[in-house]
Structure 1
Amino acid sequence: MQERVLWCFSSCTIKSRLFLAMTLQLRVYVPPHPLIKHWLAVARDAGTPSVLFRSAMTELGRWLTYEAARDWLPTQETAVQTPLDTCPATVIDPQIPVAVVPILRAGLGLLEGAQTLLPLASVYHLGLARDEETLQPHCYLNKLPEKFDPQTRVLITDPMLATGGSIMATMAELTQRGADPSLTRIVCVVAAPPALQKLSEAYPGLIVYTATIDEKLNSKGFIVPGLGDAGDRTFGT
């Protein structure tokens, strides 16, 4: 299996290492896939027009979801009849529910790519807007179910994990409805240490898949170098 970069976040330190032993702390995978690197470069470029930026988001959603699904989707063993004989086979277990939760607006940019790989997943929209003065999120739309089946695999799509406000609010909503953090995956494009540190402290065992990790935020809470406002760039606003 191809090696993937693993960042482990503990409550007091940030450690970079290769894919090693599982520990009860946040794990952040940065897959070294050339297509992920290519579309990240397209998305970062300030000269990329909105229509191409949307394509980049779709492709990043597709390939990051592919990586996230690798050891996450439930399977079951069965047998199939080939034209010549019967043989053992592994299929996705249809009895285990899968849900995708895009954080609006920007999470919709990654949703299309994710759905190409998870076509039968339920989609629950969660709308969060950040107050630019306080940097705190407020919810304007919540289509989450009252209760998740405890076995549900939940995939969250949100291009930017910056201050951590929106993703922490999302995790709080999900867990109070029965979602298991250990069965939850977050797909984002750019992550920053403040958000990852908060997730690590609150939800050890959670796993994040991101195209890159940037080192800092500016005074307005935007990731630097980042890729700007992913929602505005996706929808041309």
Structure 2
Amino acid sequence: MTLQLRVYVPEHPLIQHWLGVARDRHTPSVLFKSAMTELGRWLTYEASRQWLLTGETTVETPLAECPATLIMPDSPMMIVPILRAGLSLLDGAQTLLPLASTYHVGLVRDEETLEASCYLNKLPDQISPQTRILILDPMLATGGSMLTVLEELTKRGADTSLMRIISVVAAHVALQKLSQAYPSLTIYTAAIDEHLNDVGYIVPGLGDAGDRAFGT
């Protein structure tokens, strides 16, 4: 069976509202950061709908026993925010996945070559192939940063079919690269924009998500 990259653009009104707030150049930093937190929350909600492992059990209400479905506590789960912009989505994701371990990866882009280099890697040496991994990166522009992180994850044993990527805006060029390299991936994004400008920024996009979130 041929694998095909799956990209979901949820139509939830709250996702579209907070995307509009984040795109607006007049949105102040504090509100932009709130918008990113909400987008992290609602996109993670959509991504986890058919992704979390659950088990059937029985609980006692104040009146009687009844069947219940609960998330399995022993199911390994990781959140990987790509620094620095990925931190803006982290609070929203963690509120829904409080039992997940968080591992940071820091990348910086060379503004001339547009290539990403790693300055921080806190990933574990080995990752169980059963681990569900949520990767946070607001902007999928050239795809270079995400490819770097995926390489680090897979060489440690992670299974890309159990990964979910959360982004706010994705460009076609990044999606094409990811599809060719890792077709079993699943991506949740609030929008897909048409093209990049000559310095690799998504147009219309929302600017530099890290700078806007942290007021720099």
Corresponding residue for residue 57 of structure 1: 36
- Alignment length (residue pairs): 216
Deviation at 1:148, TM superposition (A): 0.8
* Residue-by-residue CA offset, 1:108-153 (whole Å, 9 max, x unaligned): 0000000000111100000001111001000000000001111111
Equivalent residues of 1:162, 1:223 under 8 A apart: yes
Q: How does 1:118-133 map to 2 (within 5 A)?
A: 118-133=97-112
Over 3 Å off, 4+ runs = none
Percent same amino acid at aligned positions? 73
Task: Give the whole-Å Cα distance in 2 for the aligned partners of 1:93 and 1:40.
Answer: 32
TM-score after normalising by structure 1: 0.89
Query: Cα RMSD between the aligned structures?
Result: 1.1
Structure 1 spans left out of the alignment, 5+ residues: 1-21
1:14-70 per-position Cα deviation (integer Å, ceiling 9, x unaligned)? xxxxxxxx9721000000000000000000000001000000000000000000000
- Counterpart of 2:66 in 1: which secondary structure? strand
Distance 1:208 1:93 in 2: 23
> How many angstroms apart in 2 are the aligned matches of 1:63 and 1:152?
22
Aligned to 1:188: 167
SS at 2:14's partner residue? Answer: helix
Matched ranges for 1:7-156 at <5 A:
24-156=3-135
Amino acid in the other structure paired with 1:107: G
Residue 179 of structure 1 and its aligned partner are, at CA, apart by 0.9
Q: Offset of 1:83 from its aligned partner?
A: 2.4
SS in 2 for 1:150: coil
Task: State the partner residue of 1:226.
Answer: 205
Paired amino acid for 2:29: S
| In 1, Cα distance between equivalents of 2:46 and 2:7 | 12
CA distance in 2, matches of 1:49, 1:140: 29
Following superposition, the deviation at residue 204 of structure 1 comes to: 1.2
Q: What's the secondary structure of 1:228's corresponding residue? A: coil
* Equivalent in 181, 195, 204 of residue 216 of structure 1: 195
Corresponding residue SS for 2:126: coil
**Deviation digits for residues 75-101 of structure 1, max 9, x if unmatched?**
111111122322211100111111000
The answer as to whether partners of 1:61 and 1:111 remain within 8 angstroms in 2 is: yes
- TM-score, normalization by structure 2: 0.98
State whether residues 23 and 205 of structure 1, in contact with CA within 8 Å, keep that contact through their aligned partners in structure 2.
no
